[in-house]
Structure formats: C-alpha cells, structure tokens
Structure 1
Amino acid sequence: MSQLLIKSQDIRYTKLTFVVQFTEDTMLPKQKVSAIRGGIGEMLLRANCVRGRECEKCDFLDECIVQRIMYSKYEKKPSFVTTGESVGYVLECDNYKEEFYQGDQLSFQLILFGKNIVYFNQYLQAISMLGVSGLGKHQAHFIIVSVKNQYWQDILVNNSIQMGNYQISMLGEYIDYRMRQLKKVQLQESQLPKEQQKSFSHVSDACYSGMLTFHTPFTVKYQGAFIQDLQMDPIIASIRRRLYMLDCFEGIEAEIFWDETPETAVTTRQQSRLEGVNRYSNRRDSAMTLRGIKGKVWFDGANEDTMKLLFAGELLHIGKNSSFGFGEYQVMW
C-alpha cells in the first residue's frame, strides 16, 4: 500500500443524515447544497458575530467560531492552498425536487472531518435556526425531524441529543468496508460458470474494471488547464491531492501527493457534460455560477491500491468546491 494511503487511514470523520419537514408549501432550487451551506453560515453569523461582519478588520478573527467552523485552519497548511476554502466538512443532497408541500420531507448529509467533528452542536443549532428563518430564496420553513449517524442510529431523540450515538470513524474503516463489498462480489462471481463471469474483476491478478458515476459536478485544473471531460488520471491525482489536504488538516505527517508514483487505471470510455450551479454569496453580496463536469467514466486495469484510492475519494469528494457538494461520485462494478 502507498505511504499516502497508510497515513490517510487515520483521517477522522462522521457522517450525519438530517431529515427536515416543511411546515408550509414552498419552492427550493434544484441544487440545494449551496442554499443549505449559505443558510448555515448566515445563521452562525447571526448567532455569533460581534463585529458587524467586517472580518478583515475584526480583532477577534482568531477566536471566531464561525471562521473555525466554516473556514477551518489547517494544522499544517499546504503550500498550494491560497484560498480560504475549508476541507472540514462536506454537504450532500441528492433530492432535486423543486416543489414541496406542507409535510413533505427532505434529507441531506453533513460529513465532518477532523476537528470540525466537535462542532456538531453548532451545526445543529444553525440548521434549526435556518428552519425558523427560512431556507433559500422563498424562505422555506421547516423543522428537524431526525438526525442519524452513519450506522443509521438516532442522535436526536424527542428533541434530546444522544451523544452516545455520535459515532466517529476513520477513513481506513470506510475503505476496508468498500473493499470487503468488492471482494464479496468478486468471490461470488468466481463461483459462477466461466461464461457467466463478468470481465471487470479477475481473482488471479487482482486487476479491476468498473465505472465512476459523478452525481455532482467535478471541477479540477490538471496540467495547467481545467479538464473538459472525465479521465482517470486527473481523477486519481485529485484524490491524492484531497487526501494530502486532509492529512494536513488533521496534522498527519504525509509526503506531498505529487511525489508518489501514479496508481494504475486506464480510461476506456466516458460520457460527460458541463453543468453550472448558481449560488449567492452573502459574504461577497454577489451571485456566481460554479461549473464542473458530470457524467460517467469507465476504467480498466486498476490494482488494489487504486481501488482503495477510488473508495476514499467516494467519501471525501474531490476537486474544487467540495464544501458545496462538488466532486461526489460512486464506484460501481
């Protein structure tokens, strides 16, 4: 196993599923992550800011809980990181409905990494406040129905927080779980008649084929230019970069990702399209469009280390704007 993977197994995370229920008929954007993220940030500012949101002039900047939650500092800042984008959390929402009625429910996931894990109560309070204030352009009001951990246990029971169910996991545990799933399918396939076996896995040489499906846009600059279609080389490079960034966030001593020998995986075909996500920045008081590529890419010749990298990226999200839910994909075989 590569040194980067060995080190990165100790990255801590917790994955939470929030279920909210709307208290009135309303409309929401198709892509909801930006609205949820912006709403959480706004609620945190309302509850905690003491200097009129003038962050550049604030004498409490180092102590600001909003900065710590939304723009967490690295324990060891990578030399290539020049923006304030946080790697401390990721939001996911795969519900693309736009029209909701009173009583309808919406679920979304919040993944917290490293030291951001301790801020669960602040996230919970902000989301609860957001339900009172209203989410999105049409100020959709809601209540929190449930909060569950990655093992589907309830953390919120009768409006009481059960911290005993607030489970903290390691990235290595997730990778091992996905590898067990893969090898179980591989073993079942090996027991079939030869003519019924698929070509994507070979027990003898541990060489795998499969497909990545990007559920949200993927944005990355590779060899000096933003990619225009889905290819395995920039995807794997992005995973290694993301792992190194989270190692730095956690304070884990790791080698710089680009010093590593690239893993194997050959692109066999791909289907992709450019997609934009509109968002409004309260901090900048301006609208913007975030763009990336969605679609599928098929690969062949992946060794075990490559599969472990692909499974790691599945949980972490890759590329730019990951805190807005970008770079979410699923490995299929």
Structure 2
Amino acid sequence: MTINSDTPYPAIDHLHLGLTFTAAADTVFTRHKGSTLRNLFDTALYRLACNREKGCRYRGPGALDPTTCPEAADCSYTAIAMPFTSNRVRLPAAYLLKCSDGRQRFETGKRLYFEILLFGRAGNGNHLLRLIAALDSLGQRYFSLDHFKAFFEPDHPEEAAATSGRLRLEKIAQFRPAGEKSVIFSRSFYRPPDVFPLAPAKTAAPTTYTVTVEFITPVHLERKTAGERRLLTPNDFDFPLLFRSIRGRYQSLAGINLPAAGHDPYEDRLWQEAGLVPPPRIRQADWHRIVRRKNRETVNLNRRDYHGFTGSFTFDQVSAGLLSWLRLGEKLHIGKLTTFGYGEYRLDIHKEA
C-alpha cells in the first residue's frame, strides 16, 4: 500500500483546561488528591448535568440514554457522557488530571489548581458550556467533599472524619497547542473555548536521538502472566513497553469517536521504526470493550492499588519518526490510573552525532 506523507493520523478533539478553586472551608484530602478531585469532578457531572438543575428525576426506561430518554433533548449529561459500553456500564468523559500543589490540607481562602484534558464528545465547546452551567448551579459554585466519606468509612473511619470542606470554582483557563493560556470562565465572564485536534505529527527524517524519560508522577504498569497480574518495577521498564503504552492509549481514546480509528495506514511502518512486531488488528466492534477495560479507573478507592514507580530512563537510537509519539505521551500519560494523574513524564531529547 502506498502511503501519502500528508495523510494525517486520526486526531482526537480535546480541551486542555486549568481549573482554579478556593477553599470556602478548611479542606483535607485523606487520599491521593488527584484521584479525589477526579472522582469529585465526575460525580458532580453525573449529579448535576443530568438535568437536576431543572429538577429532573426521571429514572424510568431509557434514562441517561440520549436515543431513548424522553428528557434527552435538553439534558446536559447525555450531551457530554460517553455512549453505553454495556447494558449497565456508562463511561464518563475521559479525564486526565494533575495537581500543581502538593499540599493535602487547604485552609479557608487558600487556592487549589489542577488541570484536566477532555477528549472526544467532552471536547465540544457547547457541551463544556452546559457542564459549567450545571456545576455553577451547585450551591453557588461549591463542590462538596462530604460524599467521599463513603469511600473511607468501611476501612478507615478515622480518615472519614477528616474528609470535609468545600471548594468554590473561581476560574477556568484554556491551554492552546502553542502553550499560551487564556481565561474562558470566571464569576462574571464566559467565552466558548476552542476545540483543537490532538494527533502526532509525521517525521520522515532518518536521524536518531537519545531520549530521557523522567516520570514526575508514579507510573502504574501491570503485566498478566499465568493468569495473574503483576505490578511492574523499574527493572521491567523498557522502550517497547513505553511505546506500546502510548500507542494503546491513543488508539483507545481515538476509537471512542472516530469510525476509522482502528485502521491506520502507518501502522506497519510505526512498529518497524520502534523495532517491534505489530499487534493483531482490532475490529471496530471491539473498541468500546477496549475503552471500558482501559479507562475503568473509578469509584472504589479502597480496592485500588495505588503503587507505582518514578525515576529517569534513557533510550538511545530512537527514530525521529517516534518523537512525536513520545511527545504525545506527555499529554496522554501512560499506564493505569492516568485519569488520577499517574504516569506523567517529561522528555529530554538530544540528537545523536
């Protein structure tokens, strides 16, 4: 098959947002702050965006399904939630979250900042406007952490007692691909965001590079052998594992909304440059199953193993055609628990002589 160098990779519509909150009461995070905030954001979306600001309590046949729910026409939730992936599981929009502040305790008046990436349908600016309106309706822009006590009470009642406080949404800023940032929401201002495509660029230059990958948050990687899952250690980490993680996460996210995401004419060349054997082709009908498996990182904090490793890893003889994928991984993160802020890394790239 002849490949046109101008043929783009499937792109993912996305929004990169920075949210600023003020603690309206003394607030304590008793578990990993990234996971708490991610679940908090997801729970607020579910509780508020499903027309609850209008008093909707419909839970009959077809509820939360935009194709059958009688309230779907004006419903914020069905506009931004992902399609059903089974008869009982509905994925939230894909979030990637990181916190810029390492503190666990926030006194009244202190500010908390974190960033999220919204992919696919959640990347639609009109849907974001609905989401902001829904969040705005909760107690004058307040998020309550009280419902998180349910996660801690079974095994950690002393931690449940310390989980309290409220966060008030103050500002939302959008990051553009070039790195600049602009405010799109404040207490008295809203501007519809711009939706940008996220896709790796293609580089045909035969140059090779030395690449250093430094993990700034723990990376959680598992391998299944003999029917058992084993948590990987730094000794298990290599370039093939890094590339497979980036490629798999990109394809699973692209497969949510792109009908042709499973077919990539550059597939064989990519794996050849990475020095790996291409994986089996994946049928389009399997995409939702893959997404469900890879992004089901929610809800029960007590049962999740939050271990991971950090450190720096250097790889030489890296093809120029793979650099764009490594840079893409800086945004997508790798491994499990990425929606909780895990697997974030920074690159240091040097051209080889």
The TM-score with structure 1 as length reference comes to 0.69
Instruction: Spell out, residue by residue over 1:9-58, the C-alpha distance to the aligned partner (whole angstroms, 9 max, x if none).
Output: 52221101011111233212462222122222332333327668x8xx85
- Conservation of the 8 A alpha-carbon contact between 1:7 and 1:254: no
- Conservation of the 8 A alpha-carbon contact between 2:93 and 2:122: no
Identical columns (%): 20
Change (3 A) 1:158 1:87: closer
Distance 1:321 1:127 in 2: 24
Change (3 A) 1:298 1:42: same
Change (3 A) 1:212 1:122: farther
RMSD: 3.7
2:121 corresponds to: 115
How many pairs align? 277
1:144 corresponds to: 169
1:315 corresponds to: 331
Change (3 A) 1:37 1:125: farther
Task: Give the CA deviation at 1:213.
Answer: 2.1
Distance 1:68 1:290 in 2: 32
Distance 1:125 1:329 in 2: 33
1:304 corresponds to: 320
- Counterpart residue type for residue 232 of structure 2: Q
1:62 maps to 2:77? no
- Counterpart residue type for residue 206 of structure 1: T
- Conservation of the 8 A alpha-carbon contact between 2:33 and 2:104: no
2:304 corresponds to: 289
- Counterpart residue type for residue 63 of structure 2: F
1:271 corresponds to: none
The TM-score with structure 2 as length reference comes to 0.65
Larger mean CA deviation between 89-98 and 256-265 belongs to 256-265
Change (3 A) 1:100 1:158: closer
3-state SS of paired residue (1:96): coil
Tell me which of 228, 232, 249 is aligned to 1:228.
232
1:253 corresponds to: 260
Distance 2:260 2:182 in 1: 33
Instruction: Spell out, residue by residue over 1:250-274, the C-alpha distance to the aligned partner (whole angstroms, 9 max, x if none).
Output: 31524468865254389xxxxxxxx
Task: Give the CA deviation at 1:120.
Answer: 1.2
Change (3 A) 1:308 1:142: same
Change (3 A) 1:252 1:239: farther
- Conservation of the 8 A alpha-carbon contact between 1:114 and 1:250: yes
2:195 corresponds to: 168
Task: Give the CA deviation at 1:280.
Answer: 8.0
Where do 5+ consecutive residues of structure 2 fail to align? 67-71, 150-162, 277-296
Task: Give the CA deviation at 1:106.
Answer: 0.8
- Counterpart residue type for residue 167 of structure 1: D
Where do 5+ consecutive residues of structure 1 fail to align? 78-82, 180-203, 267-278
Instruction: Spell out, residue by residue over 1:132-169, the C-alpha distance to the aligned partner (whole angstroms, 9 max, x if none).
Output: 24235533222222211103111014422112xx1221
3-state SS of paired residue (1:14): strand
- Counterpart residue type for residue 36 of structure 2: A
3-state SS of paired residue (2:43): helix
2:35 corresponds to: 34
Larger mean CA deviation between 93-102 and 135-144 belongs to 135-144
- Counterpart residue type for residue 165 of structure 2: A
Distance 1:306 1:24 in 2: 47
1:331 maps to 2:339? no
1:244 corresponds to: 251
Task: Give the CA deviation at 1:325.
Answer: 2.7
Change (3 A) 1:59 1:168: closer
Tell me which of 92, 101, 104 is aligned to 2:107.
101
- Counterpart residue type for residue 216 of structure 1: T
- Conservation of the 8 A alpha-carbon contact between 1:209 and 1:302: yes
Alignment of 1:191-230 (within 5 A): 206-222=207-223, 224=225, 226=230, 228-229=232-233, 230=237
1:192 corresponds to: none
Distance 1:207 1:24 in 2: 53
Distance 1:24 1:294 in 2: 34
